[in-house]
Chain A
Amino acid sequence: MPEKEIAISIQNLTKILGGRKVLDNVSFDIYRGEIFVIMGGSGHGKSTLLRNMTGALIPDSGKILFNGQDLLKLSVAERERVQRRFGMSFQSSALLDFLNVEENVSLPLVEHTKLSPKVIDIISKMKLSLVGLQGFEKYYPSELSGGMRKRAGLARAIAMDPEVVFYDEPTAGLDPVVCAVVDQLILDLTRKLKLTSIVVTHNMESVFRIADRIAMVFKGKVEQIGTREEIRNSKNPIVQQFIKGELEGPIQIT
Chain B
Amino acid sequence: MLKYFEQLGHKLIEWITIAREFIRLFFETVFWLIVGPFKDKPVNFKSLFFQMVFMGVNSIIIVFFVTFFTGVVLAMQAAPQLDKMGAVIYVSSLVSISICRELGPVLTALVIAGRIGAAITAEIGSMKVNEQIEALETMAISPVRYLVAPKFLALVIMLPCLTIIGDASGIFGGYVVGTTSLKINAGLYLQTTWKFLSRKDIYTGLSKSVVFAMIIALVGAYQGLKTKGGAVGVGRATTISVVTSFILIIIADCILTGIYFFSDM
Contacts and interface: CB of A to CB of B under 8 A. Distances in A.
A111 B141 contact: yes
Contacts of B135: 88, 90, 94-96
B81 interface: no
B180 to A, nearest CB: 47
A92 B131 CA distance: 7
B239 to A, nearest CB: 22
Interface in B245-261: none
A154 to B, nearest CB: 13
Interface string A77-103: 000100110101011101111000000
Contacts of B130: 92, 94, 97
Contacts of B136: 96
A90 B140 contact: no
A56 B135 CA distance: 9
A62 interface: no
A54 interface: yes
Nearest to B40: A114
A162 to B, nearest CB: 10
Contacts of A51: 134
A190 to B, nearest CB: 19
A112 B41 CA distance: 9
A246 to B, nearest CB: 31
B14 interface: no
A54 B138 CA distance: 7
A112 B132 CA distance: 18
B127 interface: yes
Contacts of A91: 131
Contacts of A107: 139, 141
A55 interface: yes
B137 interface: yes
Contacts of B138: 54-56, 83, 86, 88
Contact of B132 (A56, A80, A83, A97): A97
A108 B131 contact: no
Interface in A56-81: 56, 80
Interface string A173-212: 0000000000000000000000000000000000000000
B136 to A, nearest CB: 8
Residue with the highest number of chain A CB atoms closer than 10 Å, among B130, B131, B140: B140
B231 to A, nearest CB: 13
Contacts of A92: 130-131
A167 to B, nearest CB: 12
Nearest to B129: A92
Contacts of B127: 96-97
A50 to B, nearest CB: 10
Nearest to A82: B140
A97 B61 CA distance: 28
A152 to B, nearest CB: 12
Contacts of B132: 94-97
Nearest to A90: B131
Contacts of A111: 41, 139-141, 146
Interface in A29-70: 51, 54-56
30 contacts: A51-B134, A54-B138, A56-B138, A80-B140, A84-B140, A86-B138, A88-B138, A90-B131, A90-B134, A90-B135, A91-B131, A92-B130, A92-B131, A94-B130, A94-B131, A94-B132, A94-B135, A95-B132, A96-B127, A96-B132, A96-B135, A96-B136, A97-B127, A97-B132, A108-B139, A108-B141, A111-B139, A111-B141, A111-B146, A112-B139
Interface of A: 51, 54-56, 80, 83-84, 86, 88, 90-92, 94-97, 107-108, 111-112, 114
Given A83-B138, A107-B141, A108-B139, 9 more contacts: A92-B130, A94-B131, A94-B132, A95-B135, A96-B136, A97-B127, A97-B130, A111-B141, A111-B146
